[in-house]
Structure 1
Amino acid sequence: MKRVLILFLIGLNTLAFAQKPPLQRWTKAQADAWYAKQPWLFGSNYNPASAINQLEMFQAETFNPQEIDKELGWAEELGANTARVYLHDLLWQDSTGFKKRLDQFLGICAKHKIKPILVLFDSCWDPFPKLGKQHEPTPGVHNSGWLQSPGALALTDVSEYPRLKAYVQGVVGAFAKDPRILLWDVWNEPDNTNDSSYGRNNLKQEPERKREIITHLLPDVFQWARAVKPTQPLSSGTWIFNKDRDVSKPENWSAMEKVQYENSDVLTFHHYADVESFEQVIKQLKTQERPMICTEFMARGNGSKFQTHLPVAKKYKVGMVNWGFVAGKTQTYLPWDSWQNPYVDGREPKIWFHEILKPDGTPIDPAETSAIKKATGK
């Protein structure tokens, strides 16, 4: 009964909002004009090596500007000009301190000529985030401490939505005209139910009808952000592709994808497969006639590599942001299957899954960094 009431209230909330004139996304001409001012975009999804998740990156006790400065210096040396960085709604409980630390982070980025993509919400991994000291990495497991935002409890309680709105409008509003920010990614993989990790763990249950709830909520999140009039574009990236589904045809879009495509100023997407399917997805998305940025790629074991994908991306003027930069507490150099079979007791992956650099800043594969520098012109 409670779940039914929650969804009924969400429906009323969305209906009431829809009766107001919607704030419009950028026209194609506006999006093209913005993109024409950008260099070819390259960077990594970035989290400091010492941080297991978003909270550990930005909480006062563990925020480490010296480490960030060092690591973004390494990124600059490779020719990176962007980085994708995750925020979290719980950080807004210390809104003054969080804005100060985020401003300091943006200053470090600017020093290294990097304009970050800032992610507001995320549906991946642990659905029960908590402020304070974060747990240590689970041995041998990929991204064992990453946090969903909002968590399951906030997502299924409409009384929490004003707080979520205050977070979105507070953060975006504070930096709405800041030229140091490239783009706002309003929700990462909103329809991800984590079936291969927390979703199958009895201690980490996903909300019932999670996708339906977020499908109703996501248009409001776009509108919350638009209401504070950011000069940067908004986007939410799609990520489910296969050779048998042509996403150039709107009738093949899921309900969530329809919300994402129809509200995003520029198109963002994720792709972790071979270069042939990567090029196919680009050709299909090009029919929407919007600038494109691949905001997650590079999984060596899946055939997603710098040497193969960067030339194709440059050919089509698609920005590229790989997952993982410096190996650290996220342990995303381990593959996704480590959730079922942790890499412990001497068991090691044959190749690193993600990440470019070892903790000391040296590359895991010099051929990769050579390919990156060739693409970025360094």
Structure 2
Amino acid sequence: MIRRSFLLSATALAFVAGVSPAEARDQWTKAQANKWHATQPWQVGANYTPATAINQLEMFQAETWDPKRIDLELGWAEAMGMNVMRVNLHHLLWETDAAGLKRRMDEFMTIAARHKIKTLWIFFDSCWDPNPVAGPQHPPIPGVHNSGSLQSPGADRLKDASQYGKLEAYVKDVVTTFAKDDRIVGWDVWNEPNNGGGGNYKPTPDKNKYVALLLPRLFDAARAANPVQPLTSGVWIGEHWDDLNKVDAVEKIQIRESDVLSFHDYSWAETFEKRARQMLSYGRPVWCTEYMARGNGSTFDNTLPIGKKLNIAMYNWGFVDGKMQTRLPWDSWKKPYTYEEPTIWFHDILYFDGKPYRQAEVDLIRRLATSPRGMVPAAGK
């Protein structure tokens, strides 16, 4: 297993921020991407935050870092056949404690690797609270879905071009530290970059204009570290992803810059398959890095077998019910589920103690994870 030291001196950090363009790799060709993808097992896993953390800051800050809980939960994931986890980082973690962040990233991957799980790291995120603050995080808002999740870089940083160099340095440093680490399956540069934010937060004016300026620079920053892992950023909205004339400026960048294409879909199976085939039309490997919202028609039963059949990596939203409260639906921002539980869980697979919400879902994940590539076995086999 190849790993890079996760502690950099101030001199080394200055070097990372100015990596020579000559060392940067190009975007993978379709042939390179497909050759790499053929060496990987079919990926099945979840978007992961431990049940004891409300967001990525609480997950990785020293005061609330909880490796014992992570080890317990990833053991449950291994038992159901999961082999990947998608995990959110945040620029404030690096700015306040870069060495500590990388040390805890390394510890997370050591725990995950012990459970035969690789990690897909996310650098930035356009969803939820646009005003992130490091330090202690507020408790969950009762009855509300994902009430503590944070945008990165957030509204103020996004609108301030003088901050872009620091954001690029964060990406360069982290990727350089782990650029040859085989515990990493890829780097997700920006989650849903053209998302307005969600929840009850005030949207950032002209957000897409700023994102379109910054996103290519972040792809360049990651490539400057010459990583052996692929880069991606997933499209999530629209009807015609296979036609670059019908996607917005941000989506064009995502599709044109990604080594491996990725997308999100929380729809019924028919829509999922249509969108999946649109993404496959580019001739690159495809990952679905978010799906599974039971109340929206996206379930393991109807969607996961399509992903297996098409050899698309599948990362559902949520794993263990906890402080993120994503068993509650999106509409809880308008009508909090304070006095009643939803009729069905929206996301998540396990209760806090590891008991499955639906045993049949866990059985399906395990059955598909252990069957040959592209094969969807019948129930009970």
TM-score w.r.t. length of structure 1: 0.90
Is 1:176 the counterpart of 2:179 in the alignment? yes
2:41 aligns to what? 39
Please point out which of 102, 121, 125 is paired with 1:122: 125
Q: CA separation in 2, counterparts of 1:272 and 1:261? A: 20
Q: Which runs of 5+ in 2 are unaligned?
A: 1-20, 372-381
> Is contact 1:49–1:359 with CA below 8 Å preserved after alignment?
yes
Give the aligned partner of residue 359 of structure 1: 352
**Corresponding residue for 2:258?**
264
Cross-structure match for 2:5: none
CA distance in 2, matches of 1:50, 1:286: 37
Once the two structures are superposed, residues 273-332 of structure 1 have per-residue CA deviations (whole angstroms, 9 ceiling, x without a partner) of 000111111121111000011000000001111111121111111110000000000001
> Are the equivalent residues in 2 in contact too, given 1:198–1:206 (CA < 8 A)?
no
Amino acid at match of 1:121: F
Map of 2:221 onto structure 1: 224
- Measured after TM superposition, the shift of residue 343 of structure 1 is 0.4
1:95-121: per-residue Cα shift (whole Å, max 9, x none)?
A: 111111111111001100100100000
Which AA in structure 2 matches 1:356?
I
In the other structure, the counterpart of 2:282 is 288
Same amino acid, percent of matched pairs:
54
**Cα pair 1:270 1:296 within 8 Å, conserved:** yes
Structure 1: gaps of 5 or more residues:
1-19, 200-204
**Distance in 2 separating the partners of 1:225 and 1:44:** 23
Equivalent pairs counted in the alignment come to: 349
**SS state at 1:61 partner:** helix
Tell me whether 1:91 sits opposite 2:108 in the alignment.
no
The yes-or-no answer on 1:144 pairing with 2:147 is yes
Question: Is residue 131–residue 150 contact of structure 2 (8 Å, CA) maintained in 1?
Answer: yes
What is the aligned partner in structure 1 of residue 269 from structure 2?
275
Matches of 1:23 and 1:81, distance apart in 2? 27
Q: For residues 253 and 45 of structure 1, what CA distance do their matches in structure 2 show?
A: 25
CA-based RMSD: 1.3
* Residue of 302, 306, 315 corresponding to 2:296: 302
Q: How far apart are 1:23 and its partner, in Å?
A: 5.7
Write the distance in 2 (CA, Å) between the matches of 1:266 and 1:214. Answer: 20
Normalising by structure 2, what TM-score? 0.89
Task: Give the letter for the 1:61 counterpart.
Answer: E
Match of 1:4 in 2: none
Structure 1 residue identity aligned to 2:141? T
Which whole-Å deviations, capped at 9, do the CAs of 1:161-203 have from their partners, x for residues lacking one?
1211111111111101100000000000000002x4133xxxx
SS in 1 for 2:308: helix
Q: Work out whether residues 23 and 223 of structure 1, in 8 Å CA contact, stay in contact via their aligned partners in 2.
A: no
Q: Deviations over 1:11-35 (max 9, x none)?
A: xxxxxxxxx9996310001100110
Q: 1:330 aligns with which of 304, 309, 324?
A: 324
**Correspondence for 1:318:** 312
Distance 1:283 1:231 in 2: 27
1:213 and 2:213 are equivalent in the alignment:
no
Looking at structure 2, the residues matched to 37 and 127 of structure 1 have their Cα atoms a distance apart, in angstroms, of 39
1:216 positional shift: 1.3
Aligned partner of 2:340 in structure 1 is 347
Counterpart residue number, 1:14? none
Pairs within 5 Å for 1:187-198:
187-194=190-197, 196-198=198-200
| Secondary structure class of the residue paired with 1:198 | coil
Describe the SS at the equivalent of 2:64.
Answer: coil
